[in-house]
Amino acid sequence: MPPAITDSHCHLDFDAFDGEREALVARAAEAGVHRMVTICTRLPAAPGVRAIAEAHASVFWAAGTHPMSVAEEGVPTPGTLAALAEHPKMVGIGETGLDYHYTADSAAAQQESLRVHVEAARRTKLPLIIHARDADEDMARILQEEHRAGPFSCVMHCFSSGGALAKAALDLGFYLSMSGIAAFPRSAELRDVFAAAPLDRILVETDAPYLAPPPHRGKRNEPAFVAHTARVGADVFGIDYDAFAAATEANFERLFWKTVADRPPEAA
- For the annotated binding site for a divalent metal cation, the residues are 9, 11, 95, 131, 157, 207
215: cis peptide before it, omega within 30°? yes
Binding residues are: 9, 11, 95, 131, 157, 207
Which residue, among 179, 196, 183, 204, has the nearest Cα to 237 in the 3D structure? 196
- Region of residue 38 (phi > 0: left; psi between -120 and 50: alpha; otherwise: beta): beta
In the chain, which ranges are E strands? Answer: 5-10, 33-40, 59-63, 90-99, 128-133, 154-156, 175-178, 202-204
Is residue 242 a contact partner of residue 3, using CB atoms and an 8 Å limit? yes
Is residue 61 a contact partner of residue 52, using CB atoms and an 8 Å limit? yes
Planar angle of CA 111, 116, 118, nearest 5 degrees: 95
Which residue, among 119, 168, 171, has the nearest Cα to 139 in the 3D structure? 168
- At residue 98, what are phi and psi to the nearest 5 degrees? -135, 135
Cα separation, 65 vs 33, in Å, equals 27
CA 121 to chain CA centroid, nearest Å? 14
Cα separation, 97 vs 113, in Å, equals 8
